[in-house]
Structure 1
Amino acid sequence: MRVSIKDIAKAAGVSHSTVSRALGDSPLVKAETAARVQRLAQEMGYSPDAIARSLVTQQTRTVGVVVTTITDPFVAEVVQGVEDAAQENDYSVILASSAAEPERELAAVEMLRAKRVDSLIVTSSRVGALYLEHLERIGVPVVLVNNHNRQSGRYTFSVSVDNQHGGHLATEHLIKRGHRRIGYVAGPANHSDDAERMAGYCQALDEAGILFDPTLVVSGNGRLDGGERTLRTLAGLAEPVTAVFCYNDMTAIGLLSAARRAGISVPENLAVVGFDDIPLAAHVYPPLTSIAQPQRDMGRQAMNMALALMVADDATAPFSDVVVKGRLVVRETT
């Protein structure tokens, strides 16, 4: 049976209001009495009613997290960072998946809003400027992860990696390895981080005096099957590529799998670079060269930013978007 404030009051020989004040650390209760009530509550296994507490404090001590898919290792690491920081601050996390569909993402945001979360963290958002305006209006702090927010307002900020820098690093590495025909396997359509990574790819080609060839850019989807499918396209060119930079590691791993089945030796006949440096990247064969993102730390930073935004009391609070640099991790695919 659930222990109530009434039970604690009876055991302590005090009123209901005294117990409520003692559990809320009210200065109106003597320190000795408060300590005794709190000790009894712990011994009796009392757990406060979160709903009742939220009505009093106007806070639920929950944060809503919207992800594209829970199967993406990058997302899993980010969410773990959010969870770590949330637990350290006595917050709970409610997770919702959008399946990378804008309509479902909007529905997930509305569902979490209805649950009265204190803040929202949205990873790899698939929706645009009007959506950001909507987030501003709902009145809770919003932190975007891996989607740089160019319209920061009172409530909406972002934690993201410098995608263009990462794309440049990856392509520059392949050029230094002697490659000139370098393909790019793109990510999901109309997503800002894909455009930024491709911009870095183009920048590195231009700096090396290599003419951009649009036939070497193929559409992927950020998943294993996308990598497998795009290898057939790149290998079928009249003059095949000798190296490929992939939008993310899952794409690169799918491409490696297809190359192995096709008898294409990596890196002897085809060099491959991914992006994210997910844990699996070091354990595939051959181990994947990748651009590492501090995924768990990005999640932790997002949660800490959300916490800071919750207590900010004016529109001039000194917040700014956080942009982190990726780093090249060289393994055996290049």
Structure 2
Amino acid sequence: MAPPSPRGTRSARVTAADVAAASGVSRATVSYVLNDTPGQTIPETTRRRVLQAAADLGYVPSVHARALASGSTGIVVIDTSTIPHGELVANATRALSRALVERGYVPVVNQYTGADAGGEVLVALADRLRPEVVLALGDLDPALVTRLEGLGVARVVTASSQDHIGVMATLQVAHLAEHGHRSLVYVAPPEPELAALSELRLAAARAEATARGIALTAIPLAEQEPLAAELARLRAAGATGVAAYNDEVAVGVLGAARRAGIAVPDELAIIGIDDLPLARRTHPQLTTVSQSDGGHPQIGPEQIDAILAGEQPILPPVRPRVIVRDSA
């Protein structure tokens, strides 16, 4: 016989049987009350007693139990396969996952990219896990959405934040121009998978520079020594400001400028995008463009509740802003 449990301890998970024992009713009655089962006549005093016992015990039904009772799995797939990965996306994914768990759902994150242009990994996840919702943080091809819905996914929601991509680059150029800079450099990321997004930002930066009569030269981020040499050449040609693709690229430019003996911001101003924590840890601290106060810039508690309720969420507009620090 197994030794008795130490006094005062209890199982790690509260079960429906515990709620039944605490409220003095059967497990079936607990199930009827907690699932609000139609066609069952439960006295209001009994209903309140069960709900109070469940609250006192901290009872949370398991995903499998809920699936058996309601025909749903409680799984939400968060898809990040169509957007560049980085600290900002990681923070947003953590915030969304935490909010889903707090609401009793199980988040599953799909971040596979590779050559999966057709979304086959996402289709496989939908086929095997039968999620209630697929929440895509980037754009999904309409044909892929149709396939997911055909597999029984009740809601496929896209929350693409690409509308403000150009706005952030525009803010970079405007900020530099308003501080007297007339010749700028756009530094692009070296990763091929970021090329399309970088081109969107570069196009917006060029448009703003042209509108203001400012020269703008685009270069890729390189290793420190060749980048330092290129910055020195551009500085000698009159460039005084850098709009970097993001904060990580801007940090690379900061290092190369130091290597080239170019003083920041006195001789060369540098501005990034994303307001990552590292922007506050550089010397000088990095001026940047922020697109949110943490988490996903468009999906907050109200949007999550709407998605889970089967409603079309109203995505608030993203309002990027310049965070002025020492580098520009």
Asked whether the two chains share a fold, i.e. TM above 0.5, the reply is yes
Query: Equivalents in 2 of 1:44, 1:286: separation in Å?
Result: 52
Kept after mapping to 2: 8 A contact 1:253/1:284? yes
Q: How does 1:254-269 map to 2 (within 5 A)?
A: 254-269=252-267
Equivalent position to 1:167, from 166, 169, 175: 169
Name the structure 1 match of 2:130: 116
How far has the Cα of 1:184 moved from its partner? 0.9
Query: Equivalents in 1 of 2:283, 2:160: separation in Å?
Result: 30
Secondary structure, aligned partner of 2:130: coil
State the aligned residue count.
304
Structure 2: which amino acid aligns with 1:329?
A: I
Moved more, 260-269 or 12-21: 12-21
Q: Deviations over 1:47-106 (max 9, x none)?
A: 5231131233233333222336997221133224424543554434323333x5352993
Distance 1:6 1:124, change over 3 A: closer
Are residues 1:326 and 2:320 paired?
A: yes
Kept after mapping to 2: 8 A contact 1:121/1:303? no
- State the Cα RMSD in Å: 3.6
Query: Equivalents in 1 of 2:286, 2:300: separation in Å?
Result: 28
Name the structure 2 match of 1:73: 87
Kept after mapping to 1: 8 A contact 2:60/2:104? no
Structure 1: which amino acid aligns with 2:327?
A: T
Moved more, 7-16 or 183-192: 7-16
Distance 1:73 1:167, change over 3 A: same
Equivalent position to 2:64, from 26, 51, 58: 51
Secondary structure, aligned partner of 1:36: helix
Query: Equivalents in 1 of 2:96, 2:54: separation in Å?
Result: 30
* Structure 2: stretches of 5+ with no match in the other structure: 1-10, 150-154
Equivalent position to 2:179, from 177, 190, 198: 177
Secondary structure, aligned partner of 1:101: coil
Are residues 1:231 and 2:241 paired?
A: no
Distance 1:180 1:70, change over 3 A: closer
Structure 2: which amino acid aligns with 1:180?
A: R
How far has the Cα of 1:132 moved from its partner? 4.0
Name the structure 2 match of 1:209: 213
Name the structure 2 match of 1:133: 143
* TM norm structure 1: 0.74
Equivalent position to 2:242, from 241, 244, 260: 244
* TM norm structure 2: 0.75
Distance 1:72 1:278, change over 3 A: same
Distance 1:89 1:50, change over 3 A: closer
Secondary structure, aligned partner of 1:141: strand
Query: Equivalents in 1 of 2:242, 2:166: separation in Å?
Result: 16
* Structure 1: stretches of 5+ with no match in the other structure: 149-161, 221-225
Q: Deviations over 1:148-198 (max 9, x none)?
A: 4xxxxxxxxxxxxx2222211211222233333311122454655423321
Aligned residues with identical type, % of pairs: 27
Name the structure 1 match of 2:77: 64
Kept after mapping to 1: 8 A contact 2:169/2:201? yes
Name the structure 2 match of 1:143: 158
